Structure 1
Amino acid sequence: MPISQWPQQERPRERLLQQGATALSDAELLAIFLRTGVAGCSAVQLARNLLQQFGGLAQLLSASEQEFCSYRGLGQAKYVQLQATLELARRYLACEVARSSVLSSPQTVRDYLQIQLQGLEQERFLLLLLDSQHRVIELNTLSIGTINAATVHPREVVKTTLAANAAAVILAHNHPSGVCEPSNADRQITGRIQQALALIDVPVLDHLVVGSGQSCSFAERGWL
């Protein structure tokens, strides 16, 4: 049955207007983006099929153009729209992060770093530089490694921090495997960076490891 024939209170668009976007499931939000389904399949059912096929929302959003367009009901136009939507989200979160102290909006910072790193095929190590009020100065990419590892030198972290006159930093990197659990190597390099920055009185506020649709915070684990 097409969505237009559903009871009005069950239609995704109407539900969003009445209850807000947070009340909708991933499939319902995706259905609004898709707008239409395919023959014999409503937009909501198509969205459910896509989420199942790709293994979840994070995997769908990070799919390559070829992977995305190979599924019936999708195409290059939809892929372009999706990438534009994701970039708008990145820029919106960047504005939100820059607007206030990271200590007053930790979830926004987490969302911002997660969307920067989500779905990358290579490991990337980021340095978020903060001023004395813990407001963002800039986001710096320290290293782009292989699919298994990135090489980060503490001296480069110190050099970059001094050049930006930063008063505090947040580290972040992704695991292309999708598993966000920090490795022993992650903990070791974090300790080395923390020790190096301590020499110039700059604290490491957190180190976020991003996996597939989830992340792990060193600060929350009590490791910093």
Structure 2
Amino acid sequence: MNIREWPVEERPREKLLQRGAAMLSDAELLAVLLGSGVAGRNVLDLARGLLVKFGGLRQFLEADRATALGEPGVGPVKYAQLQALLEIGRRYLNEHIERAPALENPASVRRYLKSMLRHEPSEVFGCLFLDTKHRPLAFEILFRGTIDRASIYPREVVRRSLLHNAAALILCHNHPSGNCEPSQDDVHLTLMLKRSLALIDVRVMDHVIVGDGEPLSMLEHGWLVG
């Protein structure tokens, strides 16, 4: 059945306008973005098929260009619109955390860090640099590859902290496996960086590990003591 023949309250776009975007399923949200279906499949069926094939909304949105464009109903225009949507989301989160000290809104900080790191196919390590009032100054990814004590150079973290005139920072890295549990190397690395940065009076406020689900705060779990 053509989606135009559905009851108005069941059509994804009309449902969004009447009840709000939060009431839509992943497939319904994707259907709104795609706009139209293909021959023999309405837009909601198309969206459901894409989510099943890719394993979920995030996996589809993070698919490389060639793979996405190989799917029926996903042309260059729609692909560009989806990529623009992802970037708008990241910039929105970035502006949101700049409005208040990071420690007053830790949930927003974690959502922001997740948006910056979760899509990375390999491990990356970054820093959110903060001023004296713990407001964000800048975010940078400093290292790529397997994260351990041998691959992270404290002098580079110190150098970037001095460059931004940071008074504090939040360390972060991702686990592409999805498991946020820190390794012993994660804990040892955090304490090593904490000691190194203390020499220049820069405080490590937290180390956030991004995986599936809610990012993990090493501070909240007591791994930042030492």
CA displacement at 1:212 relative to structure 2: 4.5
Stretches of structure 2 that go unaligned for 5 or more consecutive residues are: none
Could you say what secondary structure the match of 2:219 adopts? Answer: helix
- Give the Cα separation in 2 of the matches to 1:169 and 1:23: 36
With normalisation by structure 2, the TM-score equals: 0.89
Distance 1:50 1:214, change over 3 A: farther
Percent of residue pairs bearing the same amino acid type: 50
* Amino acid corresponding to residue 47 of structure 2 in structure 1: A
Establish whether residue 167 from structure 1 lines up as the match of residue 167 from structure 2.
yes
Distance 1:216 1:2, change over 3 A: farther
Please show how residues 20-169 of structure 1 align to structure 2 within 5 Å. Answer: 20-145=20-145, 148-149=146-147, 151-169=151-169
The C-alpha deviation readout for 1:151-199, integer Å capped at 9, x for no partner, is: 2122222222223221211111122334333222222211211222233
- Give the Cα separation in 2 of the matches to 1:187 and 1:199: 19
With normalisation by structure 1, the TM-score equals: 0.90
* Amino acid corresponding to residue 171 of structure 1 in structure 2: L
RMSD of aligned Cα (Å)? 1.9
- Give the Cα separation in 2 of the matches to 1:58 and 1:213: 12
* Amino acid corresponding to residue 46 of structure 1 in structure 2: L
- Give the Cα separation in 2 of the matches to 1:190 and 1:205: 11
The C-alpha deviation readout for 1:84-108, integer Å capped at 9, x for no partner, is: 1111111221111222211222222
Stretches of structure 1 that go unaligned for 5 or more consecutive residues are: none
User: Which has the larger displacement, 26-35 or 114-123?
Assistant: 114-123
Whether the 8 Å CA contact 1:58–1:118 is kept in 2: the answer is no
Report how many residues are paired.
222
Whether the 8 Å CA contact 2:130–2:168 is kept in 1: the answer is yes
Distance 1:40 1:222, change over 3 A: farther
Whether the 8 Å CA contact 1:210–1:216 is kept in 2: the answer is yes
